[in-house]
């Protein structure tokens, strides 16, 4: 499922490139073939690099959100999370990496709530089993399960705290942060998740990756202290509803801008490490960002405080266990094994998908 402008652009560019180099294509200048060679190298590099940054808030966004959530915690639990700040931040994107290895993973990151009619927040049962009874599990999985998966991960985190199982607490906290952040992205709550139904391909990555990368250093991330959440399922449904209420603005503003903005200035080429990528231009991004009037900032802020509040509440629900014991060698071995396994799965899958593309 294409979730970013980069992915769309790559597939289009690859197709365009294949046309250019096909024997039927017209190639009057020999130097053009060298340009093609350079392009081909660039595209191959892009295909290698691209899968790292395809989904959700982008790697940068997710890592920042999880990191900032640690600083919302009450002091009694903040010390534990601060001690593991690097883990919580670095592993904020594991859930996205798992998409390449596990077919069940993708629906955990979104819910196409508008699939369920005009009044979906009235019609879709909040509780998982009621929703399964009404629609079947296959249907729920087909259109995404993020609110229910957040609830599941929350229960798992309570369990991890009860067991005082530090690797399990860290892994579950990082993943829970990821799914909560995804639920705060408007385009994670609609069938038109990448503007594919309104000729706005690429808007998904534009909103959730490009804009935070360009502007988040100016955002105000002082979001206050995490609070106890007595009903996590209701809280995450509320987040999904607020996200969904913003979908029209996300799409309409970009459509308006696209109509008024000079089309030859909409995209620009930018250096990314050793690669050159095509991205929404800075001028186009600046205009869109202005029209959104702090929306991306508001959704990031809401993600951060909700994540902190969920972590804190899980710890309270588990009876506020003492977590002052340091990581044992065995804990470190478990975490290292999991990291290696995830990396191996990810590498195996991304290589396979590239071969498939070719």
Q: Which residues bind Zn ion (CB under 5 A)?
A: 56, 96, 109, 182
Residues 6+ apart with CB under 8 A from 316: 228
Residue 91 or 109 having the CB closest to Zn ion: 109
CB of 111 to Zn ion, least distance (A): 12
CB of 185 to Zn ion, least distance (A): 9
Q: Which two tokens stand for residue 56?
A: 């959700």
Residue 6 or 43 having the CB closest to Zn ion: 6
CB of 33 to Zn ion, least distance (A): 41
Q: Give strand pairing partners of 280.
A: 267
CB of 99 to Zn ion, least distance (A): 8
Q: Which residue has the tokens 């049962």?
A: 125
Where helices occur in the chain by DSSP H, the ranges are 5-21, 30-49, 58-70, 75-83, 85-90, 94-98, 120-123, 128-135, 137-143, 146-163, 166-183, 203-205, 211-215, 232-245, 247-260, 282-292, 295-317, 329-357
Residue 166 or 187 having the CB closest to Zn ion: 187
Residue 43 or 150 having the CB closest to Zn ion: 150
Quick one: how far is CA 336 from the chain centroid?
A: 24
CB of 4 to Zn ion, least distance (A): 11
CB of 289 to Zn ion, least distance (A): 22
The residue nearest Zn ion at its CB is 56
- What is the rounded distance in angstroms from the CA atom of residue 251 to the CA atom of residue 254? 5
Residue 43 or 250 having the CB closest to Zn ion: 250
Q: Which two tokens stand for residue 316?
A: 């309270």
Q: Give strand pairing partners of 267.
A: 280
Residue 5 and residue 206 in contact, taking contact as beta carbons nearer than 8 Å = yes
Residue 55 or 288 having the CB closest to Zn ion: 55
């Amino acid at each position: 499922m294409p979730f970013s402008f980069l992915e769309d652009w790559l597939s289009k560019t690859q197709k365009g490139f294949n046309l250019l180099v096909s024997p039927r294509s017209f190639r009057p200048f020999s130097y053009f073939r060298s340009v093609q060679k350079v392009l081909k190298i660039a595209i191959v590099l892009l295909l290698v690099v691209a899968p790292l940054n395809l989904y959700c808030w982008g790697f940068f966004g997710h890592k920042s959100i999880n990191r900032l959530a640690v600083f919302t915690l009450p002091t009694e639990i903040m010390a534990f999370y601060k001690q593991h700040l690097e883990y919580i931040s670095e592993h904020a994107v594991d859930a996205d990496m798992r998409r390449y290895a596990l077919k069940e993973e993708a629906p955990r990151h979104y819910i196409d709530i508008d699939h369920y009619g005009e009044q979906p927040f009235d019609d879709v049962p909040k509780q998982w089993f009621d929703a399964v009874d009404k629609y079947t599990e296959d249907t729920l999985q087909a259109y995404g399960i993020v609110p229910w998966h957040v609830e599941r991960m929350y229960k798992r985190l309570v369990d991890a705290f009860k067991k005082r199982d530090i690797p399990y607490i860290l892994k579950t906290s990082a993943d829970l942060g990821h799914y909560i952040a995804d639920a705060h992205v408007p385009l994670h709550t609609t069938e038109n998740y990448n503007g594919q139904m309104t000729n706005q391909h690429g808007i998904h990555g534009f909103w959730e990756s490009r804009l935070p990368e360009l502007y988040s250093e100016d955002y105000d991330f002082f979001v206050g202290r995490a609070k106890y959440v007595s009903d996590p399922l209701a809280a995450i449904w509320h987040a999904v509803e607020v996200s969904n209420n913003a979908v029209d603005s996300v799409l309409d503003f970009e459509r308006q801008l696209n109509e008024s903005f000079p089309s030859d200035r909409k995209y620009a080429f930018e250096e990314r490490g050793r690669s050159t990528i095509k991205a929404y231009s800075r001028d186009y991004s600046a205009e869109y960002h202005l029209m959104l009037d702090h929306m991306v900032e508001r959704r990031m802020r809401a993600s951060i405080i909700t994540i902190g509040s969920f972590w804190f509440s899980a710890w309270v629900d588990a009876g506020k266990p003492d977590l002052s014991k340091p990581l044992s060698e065995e804990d470190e071995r478990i975490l290292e094994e999991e990291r290696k396994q995830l990396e191996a799965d990810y590498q195996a899958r991304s290589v396979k998908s590239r071969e498939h593309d070719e």
